[in-house]
Amino acid sequence: MAEHTKCLIIGSGPAGYTAAIYASRAGLNPIMYQGPQPGGQLTITNDVENFPGYPDGVQGPEMMQDLEKQARRFGTDVRYGLATKVDFSTSPKKVFIDDTHEIHAEAVIIATGASAKWLGLPSEEKFNGRGVSACAVCDGFFFRNQEVAIVGGGDTAAEEATYLANLCSKVHMIVRRDELRASQIMQKRVTSNPKIEVHWNSETQEILGDDAGVTSAKIKNVKTGEEKTIAVTGFFVAIGHKPNTDIFKGFLDMDEAGYLITEKGSSRTNIEGVFASGDAQDNIYRQAVTAAGSGCMAALDAERWLTEQED
């Protein structure tokens, strides 16, 4: 027997929990499935200092627990489980949880987020949150007046290298090719910045550190074979993100990278009654506060849409 709900939220994190808070307060009695990483990317983030309301900062996992408690307080049915298949061709929409449980939802809010692409080094995982980061805007502040490294050659890497150069004493940019893939204006900003040193034709072999965190990175020139170690306290990976939207292919419009496309100024997708929020549809800002804002939008849009269906 399929379970029926007025509002289903797929995914957690700032977008999902905020949507849950608003949907619950609106009397939609939402069911939320948290996904494979309850709380999203912030659960692997140590210090969060740029989210309003925490004057002394907060640990990422603690912040997500606070948001979950708030959502539960207003009546959200928060459940563990992973949405593995959807069918948005029918009304109500069909969503399958862990390939076993079928839910029929009048409105669906998507908050499945995006996952940072990593290099795949064991040391990268070891020092994640202790010097290794995939977000310069989030964590660059902690490395003021220190030397850091950033991996990548596209616009995101160039933008983040420039951002870090405003905070750090020096930025080592590790680029696998002999040129940047970034736009011409971003290339010029990188190459003309005296605080950014580009290591061309290079790849990271290992990230080194101690109990306190990252201390250096070992890199290798892929053309000459030369290896060298650069002393850095921060190591940023900027090789892209992958939105967690594969299960929606064939139903929802998305761009080439897989980010869900929403109507300008709203969370509405191309399917009536399906709303997208957070990093699953945001390839520009990717911040906790913007994700929370879009979660609010999704809940308000869903509430209004459901009301229209009753008229």
Active-site residue (options: 56, 66, 87, 138): 138
Is 178 a catalytic site residue?
no
**CA atoms lying within 13 Å on the CB side of residue 264:** 0
- Judged by DSSP in three states, 47 sits in strand
Is 296 a catalytic site residue?
no
Packed helices 184-191 and 155-165: angle between N→C axes, nearest 10 degrees? 30
In the chain, the DSSP E strands lie at: 3-10, 31-33, 47-48, 58-59, 77-79, 83-87, 93-97, 101-110, 114-116, 132-133, 147-151, 170-174, 196-199, 202-210, 213-221, 227-231, 234-237, 241-243, 274-276
Nearest-angstrom CA–CA distance, 104 and 138: 37
Query: What residue type is assigned to position 247 of the chain?
Result: I
Neighbours of 174 (CB within 10 A): 26
Evaluate whether 157 touches 134 at the Cβ level (below 8 Å): no
Pairing, β 93-97 against β 83-87 = antiparallel
Active-site residue (options: 7, 139, 279, 296): 139
Is 135 a catalytic site residue?
yes
Look at the block and give the residue holding tokens 């292919």: 249
- Residue of 152, 217, 220, 221 lying closest to 187 (CA atoms): 152
Report angle CA 24, 28, 32 to the nearest 5 degrees. 65
Q: Which residues are annotated as catalytic?
A: 135, 138-139
